[in-house]
Each structure stands twice: as C-alpha cells, then as structure tokens.
C-alpha cells in the first residue's frame, strides 16, 4: 500500500463461504481484512511504523491515550484476584480518575495509590509498596505528569518481578526517543500518541506496545470487542507525522534544557522542576535512564508571585504562547496546572511544553510575562 493512500473501507469483499469463514475466524492481526472494526490496512501500516519507533514486536492503535490505557488494563482485569493494583500518587489526573472511578468504583478492582513522595522519591514509594503489598499490577510513568518526578523503571520492574506483578508503563512524556520500557522488562507500554508521537495538535490517538504474542492476541480481541478503534484518516496522519518524530523531539529536548536553565536563574521563578537540572532530586536517575539523550520537553515551574501575579502571567503569555490542555506539539504551549488539574496543586505552578521555535523567541515572551506579574 502506498504511503499516500488512506483506505477508508468499512466492509471488505469477502469471497466465497470458506474464505469468509476464514476471514472471521482467523486470529486478529493476520491481515485478513473483513470489517474495519477488526482490522484496516492503513491502521495496520501505522502500527508497523510505531513498532519500529518503539523497537517492539507489535503496536496496537486506539482512538486516544485513555483508550489505550483502558484497553491495556481491561485485558488484565480479573474480579477473582483481590491483589491490589498500584498507581503512583502523582499519576496523570485522567489515569487517576479512571483508576478510582472505573477500575475501583465500577469494577471493584483493589486500587491503591502510593503516598505522595514527600521527602522520599516516587521510585522508593513504589518499590516499597510493591514489596509490602505484592500487587497484581503496577502502573508507572517514567516522567510523572505534571510534577516531573523521574521513576527508576528498571528498579520498579525488578521489584514487581520478585512479587509476581505485571508492569504497565505510560511513556507519553518520556517518549521512545528517551526510553523504551519494554527493553527494561515492562509487560506493556502505552502512549497518548496525540502528544509527541504525532506532535502537531491535530489528531487524537493512543498506542499500546507489546512483545508477547499471547498478550497481543488478548489486546486485539478486547479492542475489537469494545470497538476501541482509530479512524484510518487519523492513523494515516499519525504515520506521516512519525517521519519527523526523532528530529522534533531532539530539538524540543535541547531547547527545554536551555529554557530550564533560564527559568532557574530568574528572580520571578521560585522553583523549576526539570530532571536535566542538577538541582532536581532525580537528576542522577534520569541520566542513567535516558542515557543523556535528553530529559524531556516539559518544564514545570512555580512563579514567585501571589495568585493575582500568576493570573497576570497567564493573561500576558496567552496571546503569544497558547494556553492549552495538551502538550507535545511543535508549537510551545503552557498550562496553569491548578486551573486544569484542581486544588491539589499550587496556584503558582505552570507547565511549559517546549516546541521547536528558537529558544530566544520563547525566552522573549516568557520574560515579558514574568515582568507582567509585578
């Protein structure tokens, strides 16, 4: 199939009775196209490209990142297993809501959130909880969202293996450019491909990476059964945008490192959370985990101002740098954390998603907004 072709077919020609029976009974993923909810050539082509980026055997596309998480975790759901499922305290708010309201509230899963890191690290809290509680499953983010702690995923995987737990890693922020969780022994990796994998703020997509063939078969069956399928148009666009993935992310990581240094030295900023800074508590872990390829393209920082000053910062910056509830775009954007994620966060906390613009351009607008805070 040509890269420029988007196959929007819903019902494929089936042939005779025997061929039809074969098409509907063959294992999913065998490219015996019959109905688009089961398989689609454009989607399959994008999944192969994603598997190359992730360096895994198979990738499975879903309509968005939360659909990828739901498909992945639903595959493991066993009502007869009372062992807990562990989630970090600082997990993405959408994942936390899903764990609390769907897994625990609707399905009765024994969901356990680790304690906030405090003086400890997220890694230490996860490993300690794994050793103490012998969970069935551990969910982890190598870089947490939005406070940007860095988790020693290999250490978490080792602890999980000792206690017989599965490990699912949301590597949306880390990206395959920095780190590949399946190489570290994780069972599944999930991404909101909406973010850096696509990188243009123009599609919703999720992806699951897997190496185990039996697990892949279960995931495909679940995706087909619940109908969690991506459109061919979005899959085709994602495949096209993957071509610049490494170039984009390398530039974004490099620019973020410069911006983090600028912000750390600015009198209008009280604190900067970015693992590339030696002041970050997880700097050494990040260096070992990411092999100095970079430290991500997100920076979270606290303004040294009251709520009114922070509001002025948002108002001044918004016309120049988009204030949006997404990240990973080629265009730099920012988010007032508390306004989006709730009162668990300070009113002075800002998340900056670094794009590919010249660093001087971003610094200029940040400087003006910081002056506007008074």
The rounded percent of the chain whose pLDDT value lies above 90 is 83
In sequence order, what are the beta bridge partners of 138?
86, 167
349-353/298-303 β-pairing:
antiparallel
Which residue in the block uniquely carries the two structure tokens 């900023």?
269
Dihedral sign from CA coordinates of 270, 285, 95, 329: positive
The rounded percent of the chain whose pLDDT value lies above 70 is 99
* pLDDT at residue number 140: 97
- pLDDT tens profile 313-336: 999 999 999 999 999 999 999 999
In sequence order, what are the beta bridge partners of 301?
272, 350
Output the CA–CA distances (angstroms, integers) from residue 172 to 140, 169, 178, 208, in the order listed.
11, 9, 11, 11
The count of residues in the chain is 374
**Tokens standing for residue 348:** 């002075």
Helix (H, G, I), strand (E, B) or coil at 260: helix
* pLDDT at residue number 2: 43
Closest CA to 191 of 230, 227, 247: 230
Lowest mean pLDDT among 106-120, 173-187, 210-224: 106-120
Confidence of residue 28 (pLDDT cuts 50, 70, 90): confident
Distance of CA 102 to the CA centre of its chain: 19
Strands (E), 65-222: 85-87, 111-113, 137-140, 166-170, 188-192, 206-210
Host H or E run for residue 273: strand 269-273
Nearest-angstrom CA–CA distance, 144 and 124:
14
**Tokens standing for residue 90:** 């600082």
Confidence of residue 3 (pLDDT cuts 50, 70, 90): low
């Amino acid at each position: 199939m040509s890269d420029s072709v988007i196959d929007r077919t819903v019902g494929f020609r089936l042939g005779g009775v025997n061929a039809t029976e074969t098409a509907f009974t063959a294992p999913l993923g065998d490219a015996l196209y019959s109905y688009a909810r089961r398989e689609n050539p454009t989607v399959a082509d994008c999944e192969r490209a994603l598997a190359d980026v992730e360096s895994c055997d198979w990738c499975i596309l879903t309509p968005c990142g939360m659909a990828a998480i739901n498909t992945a975790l639903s595959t493991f759901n066993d009502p007869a297993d009372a062992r807990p499922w562990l989630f970090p305290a600082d997990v993405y708010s959408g994942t936390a809501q899903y764990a609390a309201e769907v897994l625990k509230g609707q399905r009765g899963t024994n969901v356990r959130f680790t304690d906030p890191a405090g003086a400890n690290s997220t890694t230490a809290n996860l490993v300690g909880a794994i050793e103490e509680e012998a969970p069935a499953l551990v969910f982890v983010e190598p870089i947490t969202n939005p406070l940007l702690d860095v988790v020693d995923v290999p250490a978490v995987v080792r602890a999980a293996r000792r206690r017989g737990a599965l490990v699912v890693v949301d590597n949306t922020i880390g990206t395959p450019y920095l780190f590949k969780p399946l190489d570290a022994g994780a069972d599944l990796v999930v991404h909101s491909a909406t973010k850096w994998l696509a990188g243009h703020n123009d599609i919703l997509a999720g992806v699951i990476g897997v190496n185990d063939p039996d697990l892949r078969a279960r995931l495909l069956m679940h995706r087909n059964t619940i109908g969690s399928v991506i459109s061919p148009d979005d899959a085709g666009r994602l495949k096209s945008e993957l071509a610049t993935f490494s170039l984009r992310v390398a530039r974004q990581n490099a620019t973020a490192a410069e911006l983090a240094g600028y912000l750390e030295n600015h009198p209008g900023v009280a604190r900067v959370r970015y693992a590339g800074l030696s002041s970050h508590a997880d700097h050494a872990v990040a260096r070992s985990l990411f092999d100095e390829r970079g430290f991500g393209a997100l920076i979270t920082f606290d303004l040294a101002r009251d709520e009114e000053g922070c509001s002025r910062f948002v108002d001044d910056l918004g016309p120049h740098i988009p204030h949006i509830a997404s990240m990973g775009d080629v265009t730099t954007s920012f988010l007032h954390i508390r306004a989006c994620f709730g009162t668990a966060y300070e009113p002075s906390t800002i998340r900056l998603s670094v794009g590919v613009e010249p660093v001087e351009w971003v610094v200029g607008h940040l400087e003006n907004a910081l002056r506007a805070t008074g």
